[in-house]
Structure 1
């Protein structure tokens, strides 16, 4: 009898823990990327678990965390509404950006034969579980605006290189550096935003993570 009771109590505890940890309700200020990081999931995994095609989430939406442990559930539940720093995401962003460095630049390209600037940012952010529009101008319309003084690793940075508004996009990596597909150099690479060329053509930034 005691053994049976112990088994029942153990099963109940496991069920309770799983039920507690299986979902997370989105709060104001949350991003899918934050939630994935706190739940020890890749953003792409979280997208797949919830059948999402983009990183857009709504306050009050319940996200399936895939039955993570109780300790993780507590951590996720305590995500701050407005994170003070993005420094913890820097290595993840750099790793995603590095996967597509030294690829040949091809205007309009988005495959193995070569890619352009917006195809590069799309490829990088796909690794982070975020779906971006195809063109630089369209990408300038997603996420939220960020001032130049508040740039964080993972922000999209935009430039006017043709004289007609937004025409180029890259991924900010921190310390004044950004990764982009450079048509002049003919490849994807990391550069400094402080050079005269980029500094004078800078338009703005958007935060999607």
Structure 2
């Protein structure tokens, strides 16, 4: 039997231990909150959504419900609807059959429509956009069956010198040999706001993760693709011990796709175990790659010059 004094000491010790653990957790770098996203890695996923049936008996799916269930951001601006994680992976427009899926133009079987302020797509068009099987449950008009998002390219093996197109606007600048200058230039944008699917910085004065790396590298003679997924196809693979300032670091998106080795975020290594990147508030920021969220989800590191 525990005596009152001993019981009090035990309770104090437990409270101290819990307090220490909480303080330790609060010091960890904060990354995207993905734990609430259902895992869709191995089987089809059932999404609850209020379908709309037209006069031809075709079910139309509310795009907002799909995006929310998949954990994707959705934003409409200038008539274009963009969906993605930290950069826009999909783009479409109401009443237009042309759309973009991972930066490539596709033709949707049925043009999206707008009704009561919401965007709706057919199962065939959503299947084409996401690259997976999509079916509606016509019995109750409230469910969509969605297969895993598996039509994206996993991280490539080392390709040697890469495929980036040289533009070298200032001639004297290049990534290789000017890595300190690249880091200094990137830091000038600290605090610039994050905006999902941001237009070019010169126009929007904002970045998402891949438009930031694209903008920085452009000033040093490297023309990077718009999406993080495509940027991860360039250059040569390097290990953590080989990392140099100016190398690109890519991160996974747990639970989003059939393969957890799909790129969802990118940053620029700046030395001392840190990277500069943009995500949410406060926009462009510096984070550790050797601890916390980003260490757990680090996927690959590549040198493009």
TM-score above 0.5: yes
Q: 2:296 aligns with which of 195, 200, 205?
A: 200
- Structure 2 residue aligned with 1:98: 187
> Are 2:170 and 2:219, in contact at CA under 8 Å, matched by a contact in 1?
no
Deviation at 1:47, TM superposition (A): 8.8
Structure 1 residues 105 and 197, CA gap change in structure 2 (3 angstroms): same
Matches within 5 A, 1:1-209: 43-46=168-171, 89-110=178-199, 111=201, 112-163=204-255, 164=257, 165-183=262-280, 185-209=281-305
Structure 1 residues 162 and 91, CA gap change in structure 2 (3 angstroms): same
Taking structure 2 as the reference length, the TM-score comes to: 0.40
Instruction: Give structure 1 regions of 4+ aligned residues with deviation exceeding 6 angstroms.
Output: none
Structure 1 residues 141 and 128, CA gap change in structure 2 (3 angstroms): same
Distance 2:239 2:161 in 1: 20
Structure 1 residues 30 and 138, CA gap change in structure 2 (3 angstroms): closer
Structure 2 unaligned spans of 5+: 1-159, 163-167
SS of the residue 2:284 aligns to: strand
After superposition, the C-alpha distances for 1:130-178 in whole angstroms (9 at most, x for unaligned) are 1100000000001111112210001000001353321000000111110
SS of the residue 1:152 aligns to: coil
> Are 1:96 and 1:128, in contact at CA under 8 Å, matched by a contact in 2?
no
Taking structure 1 as the reference length, the TM-score comes to: 0.57
Q: CA RMSD in A?
A: 2.8
| Bigger Cα Rg | 2
- Count of equivalent residues: 133
Structure 1 unaligned spans of 5+: 1-28, 32-42, 49-54, 56-85
More helix by share: 1
SS of the residue 2:197 aligns to: coil
More strand by share: 2
> Are 2:194 and 2:278, in contact at CA under 8 Å, matched by a contact in 1?
yes
Deviation at 1:100, TM superposition (A): 2.1
